Chains A and B, each alone.
Chain A
Amino acid sequence: MEPDSLCTISYVFALIISLLVIRVTYVLYWTGRPFKRAPTTSLRTMIVLGSGGHTAEMLSIVNVLQKDKYAPRSYVAALTDNMSLQKAQVYEESLLNSENNVEKKGGAQFMQIYRSREVGQSYITSIGTTIVAIIHAMWIVLKLRPQVILCNGPGTCIPLCACAYLLKLVGWRWSTIIYIESIARVKKLSLSGFLLYKLPLADQFFVQWPLLQQKFPRSQYAGRVM
Chain B
Amino acid sequence: MGERKGVFVTVGTTCFDKLVAAVDSEPVKAALFRRGFSHLQIQIGRGTYIPSKVAGEVGGLEVDYFTFSPTIADHLTAASLVISHAGSGSIFETLRLGKPLVVVVNEDLMDNHQAELAEELANRKHLFFARGPHLLAQTIESMDLESLVPYTPGDPKHIADQIDAFFGFTSQGEGSVPNGEKEKEPA
Contacts and interface: CB of A to CB of B under 8 A. Distances in A.
A178 B176 CA distance: 18
What 5 A-B pairs have minimum CB-CB distances, sorted nearest first?
Answer: A224-B154, A53-B88, A38-B168, A223-B178, A225-B156
Interface string A191-226: 000000000000110101111000000001011111
B153 A226 contact: yes
Interface in A109-158: 148
A52 B89 contact: yes
A204 B162 contact: yes
A183 B181 CA distance: 16
Interface of B: 12-13, 87-89, 92, 113-114, 116-117, 119-120, 153-169, 174, 176, 178, 181, 183, 185
A223 B154 contact: yes
Q: Give the interface SS of chain A, mostly helix, strand, loop or mixed.
A: loop
Interface string A75-112: 00000000000000000000000000000000000000
Interface residues of A, number: 43
B156 A64 contact: yes
**Chain B interface, >50% SS class:** helix
Contact of A204 (B87, B116, B153, B163): B163
Given A66-B160, A69-B169, 10 more contacts: A34-B167, A34-B168, A37-B168, A52-B12, A52-B13, A61-B159, A204-B163, A223-B159, A224-B153, A225-B159
Contact of A39 (B114, B120, B162, B167): B167
Contact of B113 (A39, A57, A65, A190): A190
A46 interface: no
B185 A210 contact: yes
A222 B155 CA distance: 9
Nearest to B154: A224
Contact of A176 (B12, B166, B181): B166
Find the residue from A34, A178, A186, A188 having the highest chain B CB count within 10 A. Answer: A186
A115 B56 CA distance: 47
A184 interface: yes
Contacts of B183: 210
A188 B161 CA distance: 25
A182 B111 CA distance: 15
Given A182-B88, A183-B88, A210-B183, A225 B154 contact: yes
Contacts of B117: 183-186
A63 B156 contact: yes
Nearest to B173: A222
